[in-house]
Amino acid sequence: MSRDLDEKQNRFNVFKDNARYIHEFNKRKDVPYKLRLNKFADMTNEEFHAAYAGSRIGHHRSFRSFHDC
């Protein structure tokens, strides 16, 4: 298999795992909310946090420094 095809297969497997997790989570009656698929559904939790977890903090820091001027 080519590297691109391997990556597509990996992304699809992650997507399927996330879809299964969401389906099982939404069966629960003990939580007041539901989960849905979104544009990040082909990312693992680790990939998502590595790519986006720090951006919110950085945004707030920039916002505060703007108002402090």
User: Does the pLDDT value for residue 65 go beyond 90?
Assistant: no
40 and 19 Cβ atoms separated by less than 8 Å: no
pTM: predicted TM-score of the whole model, two decimal places: 0.71
Domain locations in the chain as residue ranges: 3-68
The model's confidence at residue 17, banded by pLDDT at 50, 70 and 90, is very high
How many whole angstroms separate alpha carbon 47 and alpha carbon 60? 22
Could you tell me what percent of the chain has a pLDDT over 90?
Answer: 70
Q: What CATH code is assigned to 3-68?
A: 1.10.287.2250
Look over the chain and give the mean of its residue pLDDT values, rounded to a whole number: 84
Q: What are phi and psi of 27, to 5 degrees?
A: -75, -20
The model's confidence at residue 33, banded by pLDDT at 50, 70 and 90, is very high
User: Does the pLDDT value for residue 52 go beyond 70?
Assistant: yes
H-helix segments, the chain: 3-26, 45-68
19 and 41 Cβ atoms separated by less than 8 Å: yes
